[in-house]
Amino acid sequence: PPLDFRLVSVTTDTVLLRWQPPAGYTAGDETVTKYKVEGCAQNCGTDDLFPPVALAGQKHYVLGGAEYEYTGNVWQLTGNTFWRTVDIVPFFVLEYNITQVDGTPLAVGQNYQFRVSAGNMNSESFGPLAVISEATPVHIPGRPREVVASNPKNSKVALNFVPPLTSNVTGAATFYRVVVTNEITGESYDYPQTLTVPSQILTGFLYGTVYRLTVFSGNLNGFETVGRRSTNPVTTTAQTCTTECCADPDECTQCCGLGFRRSLSGTITVYWTPLINLARLQYLVERRVYGSNVAYTPVGTIYGSEVTVSGLDFLTPGWQFRLRGGQRGANTVDDLAVAVQIVVPVVEPPTRDVELRVDAVSASSISVSWRRPYESTGFGATLMEVQYLLQVSADGFSGDAMQDTRQYGPIVDRTNKETTSLEATGLAAGVTYALRVRTRTPFMAGWSAAYTSQTLYSAPSEQPGPVSGLAASSTGLYSVVFTWAPPAGGLVSPPTGYLVSWGPEGGNATIPGASLSYNVTGLSEGTVYTFRVRARNLNAAGYEEGAVATGILTLLVRVESHRDCPDVRMQWKVSQPMEKLK
């Protein structure tokens, strides 16, 4: 039989059918040369075999569109058939728009059955049938009678509507199209799924946003074009998350980025990451002493993204703040989202070495990095704001007067970064500077020496110059030992390493800056080699171009002797310059 035989669409007086060739058919071969399309308007019967003996009152039976009558204890054809040939089409036609059956135009509301079979030139008969048992021409449906959007969540809305009525000019609706309108931006889009039931939970909405929904009724004849808007706009919630986020990830908008800073003595500013559509949201901020079981005291209802609380006692072990966000205009706590909490410790958390280090230099700058100075504690110190001040001095920090000292910062970190880096710019080349990092929390009034890193020394510098005196100090049969002197100016920015390379094999090795020689092994006798030594320091540009030694051969000595001959003849070849060899 033909494959994928389906009903594509209907109108009030047409039915569009479509199919695919039988399995194994190749386009153009002679296994299929035509298709027969048949239709039936009534008494279409069944393909199930009728009972061997007629039941009482059931002496007529329609099988495959042909009528049988129970006569003389047997079923016999009456000659009445109810299936009619609509058309026979060539093999390349794979769809047919039916307008009549047996010469009678299709009627609205009349149920029809259709079937298609394949045939070829070898027989008048056709193969097995593909059947559609229900196809009813219909009018386009009317509008839904009522549309209600309700029960909004962060990303979900419940939609309920009443299907349209049918009449002599409107058909029954079998599916529905939903258009979503963002009332804030004015943008509209089609909901990605076609609905088949009048009650469904829709997903994929933005949180904290006002929506209206318009529903259009449809059937195989198409969609009506007016639609019905929801009787009310609906605003999705904006539930902020706990630091562990929500139990339902679909309903988790974002972790709210709570942090704090101490502005003045007895004053704390709590800040958070606002949700989108902030103008339509509000936040309820509350506080209590950390570790107590007393009720929270309201700080206020806030429409921004931070609040400053004054008159706090810093002799307490800390303060606990609670933040809840929700739709503006909510009148009860129940209308607000799940609370997010932060603890502001008064006692300083444990400290650790920041491990200040110099990463790179240039002709006018020094780049350094360090790690976070505070360890995590039960007071929530991982959420604490940390401030850094990088100090760079040309006179080695002569007391706290800070003469000839550059300061970079303060740098504020509220993101719990484990490592912070900074480039100190505007420095003089060749000058050795002292560098240190000072840290503090929002509770410190100034920069304390107790929270200051160790002092490092470094100098801005260009790349080093080439090494001098590159020479082969000794040779072996398959090796050469090279020595050299450091580049000029090494005391200002000494080399941190050397790259030794040789050819033609392309060998190379890196050695530390304290080394001034290297033994190249594994060489081949009688081969000319080129040797290069390149120096680098902390300058980010890397290795300089280097010094080169060429024209040096490995020494080959061949001795030939005989037991009965007292004379020995030796031959060797040497390269220029001769003074490099002995």
- Look at the chain and count its residues: 582
Nearest to 149 by CA among 81, 210, 232: 232
For residue 462, what are the β-bridge partners? none
Nearest C-alpha neighbor of 200 from the set 144, 159, 147, 149? 159
Q: Return d(Cα 531, Cα 529) in angstroms, integer.
A: 6
What are the tens digits of pLDDT across the range 356-407?
998 888 888 888 999 888 765 444 334 456 788 899 988 777 655 455 678 8
Question: 123 and 40 in one domain?
Answer: yes
Q: Which two tokens stand for residue 55?
A: 């039941």
Assess if residue 69 is contained within a domain: no
The strand pair at 468-475 and 480-485 is best described as: antiparallel
117/19 same-domain check: yes
pLDDT at site 306: 84
pLDDT in tens, 274-303: 655 444 567 788 888 766 788 888 888 887
CA distance 21 to 44: 25
Q: Would the pTM of this model clear 0.75, i.e. be above it?
A: no
Q: Are residues 124 and 37 in the same domain?
A: yes
User: Is 197 in the same domain as 260?
Assistant: no
Do 491 and 450 sit in the same domain of this protein?
A: no
12 and 126 within one domain: yes
Residue with tokens 């110190």: 381
Please report whether residue 231 resides in a domain: yes
What are φ and ψ of residue 78, in 5° steps?
Answer: -90, -15
If asked whether residues 432 and 387 sit together in one domain, one would say yes
Residue carrying the six token digits 């007292």? 566
Task: Kindly report the CATH number assigned to the domain that includes residue 507.
Answer: 2.60.40.10
Q: Provide the residue type at 335 as one letter.
A: D
Residue 61 lies in a domain: no
* pLDDT of amino acid 445: 61
* Same-domain status, 506 and 417: no
Classify residue 58: in a domain, yes or no.
Answer: no
Domain-terminating residue out of 421, 437, 458: 458
Which segments of 247-317 are extended strands (E)?
259-262, 268-271, 281-289, 297-302, 306-309
Q: Which domain holds residue 35?
A: 3-44+82-135
Examine residue 215 and state whether it is found in any structural domain, yes or no. yes
- 472 and 454 in a single domain? The answer is no
Distance from C-alpha of 582 to C-alpha of 214, rounded to nearest angstrom: 99
Pairing type for strands 15-20 and 3-10 reads antiparallel
Residue 3's beta-bridge partner residues? 20
What are the φ/ψ torsions at residue 301 (nearest 5 degrees)? -95, 120
String of DSSP letters for 426-466:
SPPTT--EEEEEEEE-TT-SS--GGGBPPPEEE--------
CA 523/CA 510 separation, integer angstroms: 18
Q: What is the pLDDT of residue 281?
A: 67
388 and 453 inside one domain: yes
What are phi and psi for residue 451, nearest 5 degrees?
A: -115, 45
**Listed residues 425, 458, 491: the one ending a domain:** 458
Which residues of the chain have a pLDDT value below 50? 240-255, 277-279, 332-339, 347, 377-383, 401, 491, 554, 556-559
In this structure, which long-range contacts are made by residues 312-315, counting pairs with CB atoms below 8 Å and at least 24 apart in sequence? 312/266, 312/267, 312/268, 313/266, 314/265, 314/266, 314/346, 314/443, 315/346
CA–CA separation, 113 vs 464, rounded Å?
92
**Does residue 53 lie within any of the structural domains?**
no
> Is there a domain that residue 20 lies in?
yes
Same-domain pairing of 325 and 365: no
HSE on the CB side for 201, CA within 13 Å?
A: 7
Which residue, 235, 260, 288, sits at the end of a domain? 235
pLDDT for res 243: 40
**Is residue 378 located within the same domain as residue 482?**
no
Classify residue 55: in a domain, yes or no: no
> How many domains does the chain divide into?
5
Please give the structure tokens belonging to residue 560.
Answer: 């030939």
